[in-house]
Amino acid sequence: MMGRGELTDLTSCRALFALWVFAYHVNLQVEYAHWLGPFAPVVEHGYLGVDGFFILSGLILTRVDADTPFTVRGALRFWGKRLARIYPVHIAVIALLGGLFLAGIAAGIPPREPARFAGFALLCHLALVQGWGTLDHWAWNYPSWSISSEWAGYLLFPLLIACYRVFYKGALAISLPLCFSILATVADIHGGLNLTFGGSLLRFFPEFIAGMATTAFIPFIADEAPNRIIALAGAALAVAFAATGHDAMTVLGLWLMLYGLAMQGDAERPASIGAIRPLRAMGVISYAFYMSFAPAELLTTQFFRHLGIARAAAPLAVASMLAALTLGLAVLLHVLIEKPARIALNRRFDPSRAAALAAGSVAL
Comparing 201 with 66, the larger pLDDT belongs to 201
131/143 Cα distance (integer angstroms):
10
In a domain, 44, yes or no: yes
pLDDT score at 2:
45
pLDDT at residue 224 is higher than 50: yes
In a domain, 323, yes or no: yes
- Tens digit of each residue's pLDDT (9 = 90 or more) over 188-199: 999 999 998 778
Any idea which of 9-13, 158-162, 215-219, 278-282 has the lowest mean pLDDT?
Answer: 215-219
pLDDT at residue 1 is higher than 90: no
Report the pLDDT averaged over residues 74-83: 91
In a domain, 353, yes or no: yes
The boundaries of the domain holding residue 195 are: 8-359
- Please state the φ and ψ torsions of residue 107, each to the nearest 5 degrees: -85, 0
End-to-end CA distance of the chain, in Å? Answer: 17
pLDDT score at 103:
87
pLDDT at residue 276 is higher than 70: yes
Report the pLDDT averaged over residues 46-67: 93
Report the pLDDT averaged over residues 141-156: 95
129/152 Cα distance (integer angstroms):
8
In a domain, 251, yes or no: yes
pLDDT score at 138:
83
Q: What band does 329 get if pLDDT is binned at 50, 70 and 90?
A: very high
Report the pLDDT averaged over residues 81-108: 91
In a domain, 207, yes or no: yes
In a domain, 61, yes or no: yes
In a domain, 2, yes or no: no
In a domain, 364, yes or no: no
Report the pLDDT averaged over residues 134-145: 89
Mean pLDDT (the chain) is 88
Number of compact structural domains in the chain: 1
pLDDT at residue 346 is higher than 90: no
pLDDT at residue 180 is higher than 60: yes
pLDDT at residue 351 is higher than 70: no
Comparing 170 with 355, the larger pLDDT belongs to 170
